[in-house]
Structure 1
Amino acid sequence: MKKIVLTSTLMALATASVASDDKHFKGKMPTTYEQAQEYLVESKAKLAAILADGNVSRVEMGEIHQLTYSLENALEFMEEEIEQIQETLERVHKGSERGTNAQVFQDAQQFLNNSDVLH
């Protein structure tokens, strides 16, 4: 009887594990750079709080795992935004070498506007 209960329990856990893979945690997905910064700060604070006592329980390990998704999403979004800003600056740089005034002016204005989020 104990073997049946144990086997049933293990099967239930295995099924739950497989089911949880279908609904894997996605983390917070930012839609703006400011939101990505907010999620980064928020998630870092939660991670620091978990680590504060020097011990990490199994439950906390799960919380850390979930936090990493929001952290990764925030950093990835920020990286993509910074790459776009760098590309615009590169257009300004190359345009300034060629002396294409109108294009440099337009790209420089775009750079200034888009890079405001970085401070």
Structure 2
Amino acid sequence: MKKQTLALLTCAALTFPVVSFADEVEHFEGKQSATLEAAVANFSEYNKKLETILKGELTPEAMNEVHQLTYTLENALGKINEEFDGLAVTLEEIHLASERADTEGVASNGEAYLETSRTVIE
């Protein structure tokens, strides 16, 4: 499941189109995602905004809205990817500890893993 989620998030990051507006494009900060919780919330909220825009006509105003919201999506996705990279390491520690019958390693890494993973999936 983790690999599927990470693969989907990575694919999403790679599918953002490069849009050429004019000679000058204004750049925005986007909403920051300081924590995984914030990143998941921003990712969900701004994906819904993008979905709504895509259901309508892609006017110049709509393109500007898409341009602006992608900054927040990129910030959120960056934080999610960062956290999931660490989650993959923790899961490998659980795997290795289970092979050694290291109950302490499984328990401590397992709790850390579940704490992070529950932020994304119940």
Query: TM-score under structure 2 normalisation?
Result: 0.69
Residue in 2 that maps onto 1:69: 71
Q: Show the 5 A alignment for 1:1-119.
A: 17=24, 20=26, 24-53=27-56, 55-119=57-121
Change (3 A) 1:109 1:50: closer
Q: Point out 4+ residue stretches in structure 1 off by more than 4 angstroms.
A: none
AA of the residue aligned to 1:96: S
**Alpha-carbon shift at residue 67 of structure 1 (Å):** 0.9
Deviations 1:62-118 (A, max 9, x none): 111111111111112111112212211100111111233322221122222222112
Where in structure 1 are there 5+ consecutive unaligned residues? 1-13
SS of residue in 1 equivalent to 2:118: helix
Higher helix share: 1
Higher Rg of the two aligned structures:
1
Higher RCO, 1 vs 2 (CA within 8 Å, ≥6 residues apart): 2
The 3 A distance-change label for structure 1 pair 111 and 58 is same
Partner Cα separation in structure 2 for residue 112 and residue 48 of structure 1: 30
Give the count of matched residue pairs.
99
State TM-score, norm by structure 1: 0.71
**Unpaired runs of at least 5, structure 2:** 1-22
